[in-house]
Amino acid sequence: MLELAIIGGGPAGLSAGLYATRGGLKDVVMFEKGMPGGQITSSSEMENYPGVAEVKSGFDFMMPWQEQCFRFGLKHEMKEVVCIKKVGNHFSIMLSDNTEVESKAVIVATGGSPKKSGVKGEDVFWGKGVSSCATCDGFFYKGKEVAILGGGDSAIEEAIYLAKICSKVSVIHRRNAFRASPITVERAKAVPNIEFLTPYGIEEIVGNEKDGVSGLRLKHLESGEEKSIAIACLFVLIGYQVNNAVLKQENGSSICALSEFGEAIVNLKMETNVPGLFVAGDLRLDAPKQVVCAAADGATAALGAIEYIEHHK
Ligand SMILES: Cc1cc2nc3c(=O)[nH]c(=O)nc-3n(C[C@H](O)[C@H](O)[C@H](O)COP(=O)(O)OP(=O)(O)OC[C@H]3O[C@@H](n4cnc5c(N)ncnc54)[C@H](O)[C@@H]3O)c2cc1C
């Protein structure tokens, strides 16, 4: 039986692996269905991790993380986890190759991914003027005009955030009403450099390979009138999909308590309501969805797992 199984090899899973192995746990396996590194490996620039002054691609940034973990004894199995079950006082981890592994404690760090809009040009310019993270990429567009696609709380809150950095923020939403709370919408409407374009849809993101995005072709969804706006970046903020499938049980319930959006509910030690089961990183409730925060969660969860295993010998 493993002492600790870590599901997911992004910043949260790798940090958990580092702290668990350096903390003395012997049989620690990280199950990662692909190459370790997580979502950030798809980012072309990473410049907001404290202490790392050099701007690196997400891939280059994450490479040393796994080397560091493996040095302390973390094992990586390139396998997909299908489900985690509690059996007596241990856990059973079902893998996609129909094998089963037992572990005393589990840290789930399967992260998530931002929803894409499917708008023409989105895939072409993703990372080159189309982004899903204002905190990550807003600073690259300091003093420039940008746009946000979306009408929920995060879209409107990010509009307020970007308005402090960028010269103008156009919020594009397909309805006249917003899903965001009325008070947030009122706050955004009071910001002079935020413009609301409703009910508009994006027909195409335009630009060129060398310079990235230069503008948007929009369509008014009631009149059909078309117009173009010049922007340097489109932030697609239409939702986030957490990877919580491994928590789901055969009867459709979840092994641990989830929020209405499917995020795992944890306390400050990253403990779920199931003893021995921890969740870290973007999958947990209220995750700031930043590498530094996911890494901190992973370390916290590993320290909790060491304590749990010690008390259940
Ligand atoms: C394009 C982009 C740019 C970003 N830029 C920045 C930035 O500049 N700064 C910043 O701080 N943050 C940035 N972020 C956010 C950051 O990447 C995330 O907050 C962080 O990666 C979350 O880490 P995590 O470990 O929780 O999850 P993830 O990074 O999502 O890692 C989860 C891992 O679990 C694996 N996995 C999922 N399901 C299973 C399964 N069933 N079995 C086995 N493995 C599984 C996945 O393959 C993945 O590797 C960016 C994100 C994106 C998408």
Largest CA distance in the chain: 69
C-alpha 116 to ligand 1 mean position (Å) = 15
pLDDT at 199 over 90: yes
CA dihedral 117, 123, 124, 126 (to 10 degrees): 90
C-alpha 38 to ligand 1 mean position (Å) = 4
Pocket of ligand 1 (CB under 6 A): 7-13, 31-34, 38-40, 42-43, 46, 48, 80-81, 109-112, 114, 132-133, 136, 243, 246, 281-282, 289-292, 294
Residue 280 to residues 46, 136, 243, Cα–Cα distance (Å): 21, 20, 12
pLDDT value at residue 313: 78
Q: Point out the ligand 1 atom lying closest to the alpha carbon of residue 47.
A: 8
* 2-114+240-311 fold: FAD/NAD(P)-binding domain (3.50.50)
* CA 165/CA 93 separation, integer angstroms: 45
Q: Point out the ligand 1 atom lying closest to the alpha carbon of residue 110.
A: 34
C-alpha 237 to ligand 1 mean position (Å) = 16
pLDDT at 224 over 90: yes
Over pLDDT 70: what percentage of the chain? 100
The model's pLDDT over 22-45, given as tens digits with 9 standing for 90+, comes to 999 999 999 999 999 999 998 888
Structure tokens at 258: 């989830």
Angle at 195 between CA 194 and CA 199, to 5 degrees: 140
Buried b (16+ CB within 10 A) or exposed e, 186-216: ebbeeeeebebbbbbebbebbbeeeebbebb
The model's pLDDT over 66-111, given as tens digits with 9 standing for 90+, comes to 999 999 999 999 999 999 999 999 999 999 999 999 999 999 999 9
pLDDT value at residue 88: 93
Query: Which are the catalytic amino acids?
Result: 133, 136-137
pLDDT value at residue 27: 95
* CA 60/CA 244 separation, integer angstroms: 27
pLDDT value at residue 307: 97
Q: Do residues 237 and 148 lie in contact, with contact meaning Cβ atoms separated by under 8 Å?
A: yes
Q: What is the CATH number of domain 122-236?
A: 3.50.50.60
Give the position of tokens 């199931």. Answer: 274
Sketch the domain layout of the chain as residue ranges: 2-114+240-311, 122-236
Domains 2-114+240-311 and 122-236 share a fold: yes
C-alpha 112 to ligand 1 mean position (Å) = 6
